[in-house]
């Protein structure tokens, strides 16, 4: 029986999972929408992975988690490693592209840039305060244009005269888009203008002050939009790589980190049948009034976090 390692990346919009072998090769991977319930999303993810996992020849001996709900899912699954998105994405990407120097990542509700030199993260930045230019933003604008989000990039590439759109703010962008439609601009030109505006917004805000050098790898759900990819190439002057497994880079990196940790914590897919309860408790024992998150498995405390001092620790 050979060892395998699982990585789970739980984001605000999507949840990703991979299972790798001891050579960091993906045995199976899955992607689905979080839909505001990370715990239920992970349960569904595990069922999908179990259906594809070769349990006759492999056994999962460790799990790594990353993403916005990494602590919650890490506690529930008894993860060997719980890492932030920057580290996980960098590890996953360098496994695919060892010479990568710049990573663009635009997800459903946030975006980030990671700068690497010789495989080591030297700088990064994240934007989690504004949804302008993210996947959710594009979906909303596609709906306003009455086109499928899957077709957005292809329609943008048909443009011969991209329409300038003010995309530094979601509210401004939406009002500007409506105005451009009213004065007769074509959907193709507006779509192309939005793609360019998204890229300029990213480069002027998220990537501001960062030295962008090739190879450049573009990840996240928005990387599937060929209009945005082309706009990045036009604005940076560099080829932009979009890997077929780029959407799994965070989960892949988490799995690799679990392998590297050397901690054996065997995993059983039957965890999806276990009763889990998540509660929030206000400490109230000092002026901080911390909101402490507690996870219980069949009535027993699994883990808790959120307290800034020992007075807020929860033991039962």
User: Given this structure, which CATH class describes domain 2-92+250-272?
Assistant: alpha beta
List of the chain residues with pLDDT < 70: 128-133, 167-171, 272, 316
pTM: 0.83
pLDDT score at 130 = 65
What is the fold, at CATH topology level, of the domain defined by 98-242? Nucleotidyltransferase; domain 5 (3.30.420)
* Residues contacting residue 239 through CB under 8 Å, at least 6 positions apart: 214, 215, 216, 233
Question: How far, in Å, are 60, 117, 224 from residue 90 at the CA level?
Answer: 23, 11, 19
**Nearest one of 92, 89, 91, 62 to 77, comparing CA atoms:** 62
* Cα 284 from Cα 290, distance rounded (Å): 7
**Nearest one of 142, 96, 139, 145 to 116, comparing CA atoms:** 96
pLDDT tens digits along 190-212:
999 999 988 988 998 899 999 99
Domain boundaries for CATH 3.30.420.40 within the chain? 2-92+250-272, 98-242
């Amino acid at each position: 029986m050979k060892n395998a390692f699982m990585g789970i990346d739980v984001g605000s919009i999507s949840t990703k999972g991979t299972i790798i072998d001891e050579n960091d090769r993906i045995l199976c991977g899955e992607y689905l929408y979080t839909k505001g319930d990370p715990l239920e999303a992970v349960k569904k993810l595990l069922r999908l992975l179990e259906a594809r996992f070769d349990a006759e020849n492999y056994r999962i001996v460790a799990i790594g988690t990353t993403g916005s709900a990494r602590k919650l899912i890490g506690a529930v699954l008894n993860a060997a490693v719980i890492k932030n998105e920057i580290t996980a994405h960098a590890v996953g990407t360098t496994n695919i592209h060892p010479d990568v120097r710049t990573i663009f990542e635009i997800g459903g509700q946030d975006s980030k840039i990671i700068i690497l030199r010789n495989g080591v993260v030297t700088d990064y930045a994240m934007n989690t305060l504004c949804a302008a230019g993210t996947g959710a933003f594009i979906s909303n604008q596609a709906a306003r244009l009455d086109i499928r989000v899957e077709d957005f990039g292809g329609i943008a590439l048909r443009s011969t005269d991209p329409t300038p759109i003010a995309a530094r703010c979601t509210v401004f962008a939406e009002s500007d888009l409506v105005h451009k439609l009213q004065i007769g601009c074509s959907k193709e030109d507006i779509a192309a203008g939005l793609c360019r505006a998204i890229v300029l917004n990213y480069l002027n805000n998220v990537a501001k002050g960062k030295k962008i050098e090739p190879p450049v790898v573009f990840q996240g759900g928005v990387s599937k939009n060929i209009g945005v990819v082309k706009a990045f190439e036009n604005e940076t002057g560099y080829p932009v790589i979009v890997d077929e497994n780029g959407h799994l880079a965070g989960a892949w990196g988490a799995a690799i980190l679990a392998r590297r940790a050397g901690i054996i914590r065997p995993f059983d897919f039957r965890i999806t049948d276990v009763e889990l309860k998540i509660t929030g408790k206000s400490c109230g024992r000092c002026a901080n009034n911390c909101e402490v998150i507690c996870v219980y498995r069949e009535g027993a405390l699994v883990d808790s976090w959120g307290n800034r001092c020992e007075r807020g620790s929860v033991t039962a």
